[in-house]
Structure 1
Amino acid sequence: MSPDAQTQKRNEDTKPAPDKKPAPQKVHVLNANEAQKRSMRAQARRRWLTRLSFLFLVVIPTALTALYFFHFAADRYAVEAKFAVRSPSSTVPSGDLLSMMTTMTSAGSTMSDSYMLVDFIESRDLVDQLEDKVDLVEIYHTEQADFLTKLKADPTAEELRKYLNRWVDIYFDTASQILTLRVQTFDPQSAQALSAAILEVASDLVNEVSEQARFDSMASAEREVARIEQQLDEHRQAMVAFRDERQDVDPEASAGAQIELLTQLEGQLSSSRARLNSLLTYLSEDAPTVRVLKTEIESMERQLEEQRQRLGTGTANTSQGGDLAEGNAELSMSERLGIYEGLAVDMEFLRQAYVTALAAREGARLEADKQQRYLASFVKPSLPEQSLYPKRLQTTLVFFCFAVMIWGISLMIIYVVREHAN
């Protein structure tokens, strides 16, 4: 083959092949009737699913709820008691500011005690306090209870507290400061007994807290009285020791007697000297009468000097307390009187301090009595004659409305999601 022929053949081989037309696709065109049928089938499927969901989410749960409440649920008897924490000082305040402030303080304290009672009744400590009064397991683990409300045979303290909170309700009205206790059990006698036991335990708690507050408020006053009493007793013993040692019950009276005696001696001495001077005018000094009178005068002078020394002179070693004198040193009357007056002044001061401490203790006692708390129960637990719980029809209707609401919300969410997906 010639080169030209080869080139031509190569060019023919390299020519692009003519375009091939794709095979025509079969297009199915829906007519109005077929589209309507498909739409009706989808709507019917949605209606069927809606009815099925309503059946499983509303009808069956409501039927099971009604079956339980009207056939299996046990009757429960409720006992209601109303009480309040009160104080003797919680009266209507007068117009003065001090009375208003005192009453407001008392009201705040009683409100705090009321909240304390609410927390106590909802705590485990109530279960521990009730063990000695009622048998909670025997009350709630009974054949009268149904399978959903019956307490297990051997519960722990925590499980018993959690279970008891279902059937014991406490409500505190802050406006009237009244507490309402509602107890439910499966027979009327146990409901009344349990409610009375809870009130007794609550009253014991209020009394205990009130007594502790009273003791704390009076402790300081009692300590002050005891301290003054001890000092007064020690001072009395010091005065008794002083009187025993000096053999003088009343140094002031003894000093008065000594001064009176000294005055009499001075008067007699002056009279004797006057007589002596009168005799010397016509008698000599050697006359017997003059010598006797001089001897009397000398004797009175010595006695007067001794009395003066006993009143204000002489050596002494004094000290306060029980150590009033050392050895056989003799105290002068003025020194003994000074020590005794010091003891007497201290004694009088301690007596006044003791009277003041007793008055302060009495004031603290009166104030503590005003702040005392007590539980005032004006609606006492009574024996119920008819079971109030469970509220079968009301609970079933509430459950039905709740189920319908959940079903409607779920259905709406599904439609919204599908709409966004399309």
Structure 2
Amino acid sequence: MTKESQRELELRLDEFRRESLAEGDWRRPVRLSMAAGKLKDTDPALALRIYQRVRVLQPDSAVVRKHIKELNALLRRTKPELMRSSSNENTTPEPQGPVEQIQPELSMQERVKTFLKTPLSLAVFLPFVIFAFYQLVWASDMYESQSQLIIQQPSGVSTLDPSMALLSGLTGKSSSPDTELVKTYIHSSDLLAYLENEIKFTAYFSGSDADMFSRLSTDASLEDRLSYYQKRISVEVDDASKVITLKAQAFDPEYAHLLSNTIVQRAEWYINKIGNQLAEAQLQFVKKEHEQVEARLQKAKQDLLIFQREYNLLDPIAEGMALQQITYALEGQIAAKEAELRTLKGSMSENASAVIQTREQLQSLKLQLKQERDRLTRNDGLSLDADSMGVNEIQARFSSLKTELEFALEALSASLVSLEKSRIEAYRQLKYLVIVESPTLPEEAKYPRVLHNLTLFLAVAFMLFGIAKIILATVEELR
């Protein structure tokens, strides 16, 4: 293109800029692209010049480069004179567009400097290089020791006879392990305090050998130390098998193994302690109730023995039945004597010796009957005390004492069953921490995962850069 044609095109571009563009549109690639698209058919040379302006604003736009290439090809076919230099001008080949200026070839160093000044380099690649240096050179290696645990409870069926197992409700089905209790305790400050005393947790992780981003601050507060501890200790629970996976991280494999092994031992102690405390509390309550029942039985026995010694009776009920048999026999003899007396009176006088003898025998029998009946209501024949109780009162008191003894025996039987059942239930509540996989001694550093971290960092950086570009373009478009 001749200089005259280039000046004419620049004048037309300035006129287009003043008349067709609003204030600020010259810096908006979207508005310029829309204007160039409208001029592609009517004025391809001006459209090409506008697209070149858009390429300056958006050097990475593939769409703009495509439009420029299409317009260059169109102008070579339709207006080849615009693509050739005049004869009186420098014979140096013109660039591929009518208004493209020949740029001097840049050296590699200048290209690098130019690239480093771009927003993409400052926002994405420079932070990526710094992060990669940290991951590859500076970051401390982290070893991980793994162990697997599970909490089991005894079924207890094999240790009991069938009737007692049925009574206690044991069916052989164990309850689900209380894994959340173990997980909470492992992440608790109590276990951290134990680790401080046993293996000097804070002193190890605040050592100067580790990088400043990985180690624990020497003046960290309790909350910071607990948060750091929870980051180094991972507890995962499988919902199906209830297996607890414990992962402990440290700067060397020996301490990672020691840390994992210490946590496992302390967790086992904690589970056994909780189970024993619950079982002991339940058994103590039932034992106290059983002791009260035994004391009641002993008192009932003692009262009964004292009563038997006091009245010199083994069984007042049997004694009363014997007295009743005597009174029944006396009544029968009295009836027979009365019949005999009436017979004698019918054939003899009142003063006959046989009548008098029979009458005296009848009176003796009646007197004896009266005495025996008095013995049933008073204890004249059982004790020298005239005011002592009668046989009926003795029987009533004896029955009361015997009933109390029977109730005490039944209560003791029920208490024994309850005690045995409580013992079995307490045994069922005991929990045991079973080690499925012992703490491992790692041989290779698992962290940092360099490739994973770098890939993730680069993806996030590009995503944030793209979001920022979209926001800036939107703001620029709305101005």
Q: TM-score, normalised to structure 2's length?
A: 0.62
Residue of structure 2 equivalent to 1:88: 154
Question: 8 Å contact 2:149–2:245 — kept in the other structure?
Answer: yes
Aligned with 2:229 (options 164, 186, 209):
164
The 3-state SS of whatever aligns with 1:389 is: coil
Aligned with 1:330 (options 385, 388, 396):
388
Shift in alpha-carbon separation, 1:40–1:297, aligned structure 2, 3 A: closer
Does 191-200 or 29-38 show the bigger shift? 29-38
Question: 8 Å contact 2:316–2:398 — kept in the other structure?
Answer: yes
Shift in alpha-carbon separation, 1:142–1:250, aligned structure 2, 3 A: farther
Question: 8 Å contact 2:323–2:376 — kept in the other structure?
Answer: yes
Tell me whether 1:210 sits opposite 2:237 in the alignment. Answer: no
Residue of structure 1 equivalent to 2:188: 123
Residue of structure 1 equivalent to 2:129: 63
Deviation at 1:35, TM superposition (A): 6.0
Question: 8 Å contact 2:257–2:439 — kept in the other structure?
Answer: yes
Deviation at 1:78, TM superposition (A): 0.5
Deviation at 1:264, TM superposition (A): 10
Shift in alpha-carbon separation, 1:72–1:236, aligned structure 2, 3 A: same
Deviation at 1:224, TM superposition (A): 3.9
Residue of structure 2 equivalent to 1:381: 439
The 3-state SS of whatever aligns with 1:30 is: helix
- Mapped to 2, the partners of 1:132 and 1:231 lie a distance apart of 52
Question: 8 Å contact 2:154–2:174 — kept in the other structure?
Answer: no
User: What amino acid does structure 2 have at the position aligned with 1:73?
Assistant: A
Deviation at 1:55, TM superposition (A): 1.8
- Mapped to 1, the partners of 2:406 and 2:156 lie a distance apart of 41
Deviation at 1:353, TM superposition (A): 1.7
Deviation at 1:170, TM superposition (A): 0.8
Residue of structure 2 equivalent to 1:197: 262
Structure 2, gaps ≥5 residues long: 1-10, 15-45, 62-110, 158-165, 338-350
Shift in alpha-carbon separation, 1:193–1:40, aligned structure 2, 3 A: closer
Residue of structure 2 equivalent to 1:281: none
Tell me whether 1:390 sits opposite 2:448 in the alignment. Answer: yes
Deviation at 1:359, TM superposition (A): 0.6
- Mapped to 2, the partners of 1:150 and 1:77 lie a distance apart of 14
Q: Cα deviations across residues 366-385 of structure 1 (Å, max 9, x unaligned)? A: 23323432222201112222
- Structure 2 matches for 1:178-189, cutoff 5 A? 178-189=243-254
- Mapped to 2, the partners of 1:69 and 1:214 lie a distance apart of 52
User: What amino acid does structure 2 have at the position aligned with 1:133?
Assistant: E
Structure with the larger RCO, 1 or 2 (CA within 8 Å, 6+ apart): 1
Structure 1, gaps ≥5 residues long: 1-27, 92-97, 273-284, 316-326
Question: 8 Å contact 1:83–1:377 — kept in the other structure?
Answer: yes
**RMSD between aligned residues:** 4.6
Task: State percent identity of aligned pairs.
Answer: 27
- Structure 2 matches for 1:3-42, cutoff 5 A? 29-30=12-13, 32=46, 41-42=56-57
Q: TM-score, normalised to structure 1's length?
A: 0.69
Tell me whether 1:225 sits opposite 2:208 in the alignment. Answer: no
User: What amino acid does structure 1 have at the position aligned with 2:442?
Assistant: P
Deviation at 1:305, TM superposition (A): 5.9
User: What amino acid does structure 2 have at the position aligned with 1:192?
Assistant: H
Residue of structure 2 equivalent to 1:74: 140
Q: Cα deviations across residues 305-348 of structure 1 (Å, max 9, x unaligned)? A: 65553344358xxxxxxxxxxx9731223322221122112211
The 3-state SS of whatever aligns with 1:378 is: strand
Question: 8 Å contact 1:106–1:371 — kept in the other structure?
Answer: no
- Mapped to 1, the partners of 2:216 and 2:368 lie a distance apart of 106
Q: Cα deviations across residues 37-73 of structure 1 (Å, max 9, x unaligned)? A: 7555545699969962222222221111121122221
- Mapped to 1, the partners of 2:148 and 2:245 lie a distance apart of 5
Does 60-69 or 32-41 show the bigger shift? 32-41
- Mapped to 2, the partners of 1:187 and 1:207 lie a distance apart of 31
Residue of structure 1 equivalent to 2:88: none
Deviation at 1:244, TM superposition (A): 4.0
- Mapped to 1, the partners of 2:156 and 2:304 lie a distance apart of 50
- Mapped to 2, the partners of 1:154 and 1:305 lie a distance apart of 106
Aligned with 1:238 (options 290, 303, 317):
303
The 3-state SS of whatever aligns with 1:133 is: helix
Shift in alpha-carbon separation, 1:382–1:267, aligned structure 2, 3 A: farther
Shift in alpha-carbon separation, 1:49–1:354, aligned structure 2, 3 A: same
Shift in alpha-carbon separation, 1:30–1:304, aligned structure 2, 3 A: closer
Residue of structure 2 equivalent to 1:411: 469
Question: 8 Å contact 2:379–2:386 — kept in the other structure?
Answer: no
Residue of structure 2 equivalent to 1:54: 120
- Mapped to 2, the partners of 1:69 and 1:50 lie a distance apart of 22
Shift in alpha-carbon separation, 1:338–1:409, aligned structure 2, 3 A: same
Shift in alpha-carbon separation, 1:328–1:143, aligned structure 2, 3 A: farther
Shift in alpha-carbon separation, 1:263–1:118, aligned structure 2, 3 A: same
Shift in alpha-carbon separation, 1:313–1:37, aligned structure 2, 3 A: closer
Deviation at 1:409, TM superposition (A): 2.1
Residue of structure 1 equivalent to 2:218: 153
- Mapped to 2, the partners of 1:138 and 1:265 lie a distance apart of 106
Deviation at 1:269, TM superposition (A): 11
- Mapped to 1, the partners of 2:215 and 2:410 lie a distance apart of 70
Question: 8 Å contact 2:377–2:389 — kept in the other structure?
Answer: no
Shift in alpha-carbon separation, 1:297–1:130, aligned structure 2, 3 A: farther
Question: 8 Å contact 1:90–1:106 — kept in the other structure?
Answer: no
The 3-state SS of whatever aligns with 1:309 is: helix
User: What amino acid does structure 1 have at the position aligned with 2:238?
Assistant: D
- Mapped to 1, the partners of 2:173 and 2:284 lie a distance apart of 21
Residue of structure 2 equivalent to 1:10: none
Deviation at 1:140, TM superposition (A): 1.3
